[in-house]
Amino acid sequence: MAVKVIIPTPLRQYAGKQESVEVNAKTVAEALNSLTSQFGDLKRHLYSDEGKLRSFVNVYVNDEDIRYLQKEKTAVQQGDTISIVPSIAGGSGIAGTVRSN
């Protein structure tokens, strides 16, 4: 089934500068696998070295967060749109408890 994957702006440079890529897939996992097979440089920004989706990478199917569906096993239908959206995290890493003493 053909589904559209929207490529987030920061990662378009690794996907032939395309805003979206059409892939054939029955699940989110298959769609992302197809995407990263076509565009290998995308993989390190989506997956950890252990092959899991990075903790800050969120995937939506037609505006539904897959965390509340069947995660990467979520089925996709012909014409669905998959969006990849980061959450942004970071910080100094210096323990606040130390400073508050």
Partner 1 sequence: MLRVAQTFIEQIHKHGVRDYPNECCGALLGLEEEGHRTVLGLLPLVNQRNDSPRNRFSITSEDVRLAEKEAKAKGWELIGWYHSHPDSPARPSEFDRQHAWPWYSYIIFHVANREPREMRSWRLDDDRAKYAEESIEFVSGGAR
Q: Candidates 18-26, 27-35, 73-81, 82-90 — which segment interacts with partner 1 by CB under 8 A?
A: 82-90
Nearer to partner 1, 10 or 78 (CB): 10
Site for partner 1 in 6-45 (CB under 8 A): 8-11, 13, 41, 44-45
Reading the block at residue 64, the tokens are 């539904």
The minimum distance between CB 92 and partner 1, in angstroms, equals: 4
Q: How far apart are CA 23 and CA 95, in angstroms?
A: 44
Q: Is 4 exposed, middle or buried (0-12, 13-18, 19+ CB in 10 A)?
A: middle
Q: From the CB of 24, what's the least distance to partner 1, in Å?
A: 26
Amino acid letter, 62:
N
- Of 23, 15, 14, 5, nearest to 84 (Cα)? 5
Binding footprint of partner 1 on the chain (CB under 8 A): 8-11, 13, 41, 44-45, 55-56, 58, 65, 85-96, 99-100
